Each structure stands twice: as structure tokens, then as C-alpha cells.
């Protein structure tokens, strides 16, 4: 009778492109990124009723693309906010 040791394997899948990486650790793979958007979900009265947080696990390529997209979106908003004199949430 033989005994085969099969170590635990954790499969990490990128939420952007779908690429998978198998590792022996459940920690985030090296050079990958966790993108977390923390916010509340509101009802029609404006009361926070649930956690609207979104979490994404991104490979290095998708993480670079997401960082570039966030930087571009924020950079394009800065001139508009300066012209408006700041943001008003009414």
C-alpha cells in the first residue's frame, strides 16, 4: 500500500482577465493586487442600509491597468472640480 502526499494547493483567479495561478499559500500571489472599493449602499431616503464594498483580486497586468485607469479618471476630474470651485453634494 502506497501513500501519496498531495499538498494543499490554492488557486488564485484574476477578477479582471481570468488568469489562474496555483500556489501553496492562500496569501495573495507576489505582484498581484487587491483592489477594494469601500462604500455603503443607500436606500431612497439616503440612509446607509448595506455594505456596498467591492473587492477584486487582480494579476500584475490587470493591476497596472486598473491603477492607470484610476489615475486617468482622477486627473481628468481635477480641472473640472477647480472650475466648479469644489464639489457640492447638496
Residue-wise pLDDT for 47-82, tens only, equals 999 999 999 999 999 999 999 999 999 898 887 766
pLDDT value, residue 79: 77
Residue 28 DSSP class: P
- Rounded CA-CA distance 67/34 in Å is 11
For the chain, give percent helix, strand, coil, nearest 5. Answer: 30, 30, 45
Across the range 4-14, mean pLDDT stands at: 81
The closest alpha carbon to 34, from 66, 68, 11, belongs to 66
Across the range 38-49, mean pLDDT stands at: 93
pLDDT value, residue 87: 60
Q: Which residues contact 13 (CB under 8 A, 6 or more apart)?
A: 19, 20, 21, 57
pTM confidence score: 0.73
Amino acid at each position: 500500500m502506497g501513500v501519496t502526499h498531495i499538498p494543499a494547493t490554492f488557486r488564485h483567479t484574476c477578477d479582471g482577465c481570468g488568469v489562474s495561478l496555483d500556489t501553496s499559500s492562500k496569501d495573495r500571489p507576489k505582484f498581484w493586487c487587491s483592489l477594494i472599493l469601500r462604500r455603503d449602499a443607500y436606500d431612497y431616503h439616503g440612509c446607509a442600509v448595506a455594505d456596498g464594498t467591492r473587492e477584486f483580486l487582480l494579476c500584475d497586468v490587470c493591476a497596472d491597468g486598473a491603477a492607470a485607469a484610476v489615475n486617468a479618471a482622477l486627473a481628468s476630474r481635477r480641472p473640472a472640480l477647480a472650475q466648479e470651485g469644489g464639489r457640492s453634494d447638496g
